[in-house]
Amino acid sequence: MTLRSLIPIGRQAGSLRPSSSPFSSLQREIDQLFDEFSRGIASFGSNELTPRMDLVETDKTFELTAELPGLEEKDVEINLSDNVLTIKGEKKSEKEDKGKNYRMVERSYGSFSRSVELPSGISPDAIKATIDKGVLTVSVPKPAPSVTRRIEVKAA
């Protein structure tokens, strides 16, 4: 399994490769600065949310933890297709604005989707997901290591 397979889909694939250019580290730092800045305002002016995730690898499992404040199990959908684990959901706003004049609105509402590529051989039936106090935890057991078998070549 490669480290690249555990990087969330949507990130630049080339960011893990070292470069011989003298400006490559400066470019990476500038890219990181813009990524961090844009994450902070990603929901500004749109209905798209991007939940924060941690992905930890243990000896036996991959543990994915995502912040989904205000959501319950009925608001979240998790799918596994072609080794890609996708978490989708929607945070709905409760509207009752009779006589209210807003001065500032910072809470975000809308749909979200995050995908992570996993190694091949994951059993969808073995994946467990729980949500508690707005924190989603997905436990994905690692697949059994592939066995290399030598095939004897015989004369025809």
pLDDT tens by residue, the chain, 156 residues: 544 555 555 544 444 555 567 777 788 888 887 777 665 554 444 445 678 899 999 999 999 999 988 888 898 999 999 889 999 998 877 665 666 776 676 666 788 888 999 888 888 899 999 999 989 999 999 988 878 899 999 998
Do 73 and 131 contact (CB within 8 A), yes or no?
A: yes
Residues paired with residue 78 on neighbouring β-strands, in sequence order: 87
Predicted pLDDT at 94: 65
In order of their start, the domains of the chain are: 3-10+49-93+107-141 (2.60.40.790)
Neighbour-count burial for 119-138, b at 16+ CB within 10 Å, e otherwise: eeebeeeebebebeeeebeb
pTM score of the predicted model: 0.59
